[in-house]
A and B are shown apart, each in its own frame.
Chain A
Amino acid sequence: RKEVEQDPGPFNVPEGATVAFNCTYSNSASQSFFWYRQDCRKEPKLLMSVYSSGNEDGRFTAQLNRASQYISLLIRDSKLSDSATYLCVVRDGQNFVFGPGTRLSVLP
Chain B
Amino acid sequence: ETGVTQTPRHLVMGMTNKKSLKCEQHLGHNAMYWYKQSAKKPLELMFVYSLEERVENNSVPSRFSPECPNSSHLFLHLHTLQPEDSALYLCASSQDRGRSQPQHFGDGTRLSIL
Contacts and interface: CB of A to CB of B under 8 A. Distances in A.
A43 interface: yes
Interface in B67-114: 88, 90, 92, 94, 96, 99-108, 110
Interface string A25-45: 000000110101000011111
B105 A44 contact: yes
Question: Interface residues of B toward A: which range?
Answer: 20 to 34
A20 interface: no
A96 B42 contact: no
B99 A43 contact: no
Contacts, number: 54
Nearest to A2: B42
Contacts of B92: 96
B35 to A, nearest CB: 8
Contacts of A42: 107-108
Given A94-B96, A100-B42, A43 B108 contact: yes
Interface string A75-108: 0000000000001010101111011110000000
Nearest to A49: B102
B102 A34 contact: yes
B56 A95 contact: yes
A17 interface: no
Contacts of B50: 94
Contacts of B33: 96
B57 to A, nearest CB: 13
Interface of B: 1, 31, 33, 42-43, 45, 48, 50, 55-56, 88, 90, 92, 94, 96, 99-108, 110
Q: Which 9 A-B pairs have the closest CB atoms?
A: A43-B105, A32-B100, A100-B42, A98-B43, A31-B99, A46-B102, A34-B102, A43-B108, A96-B103
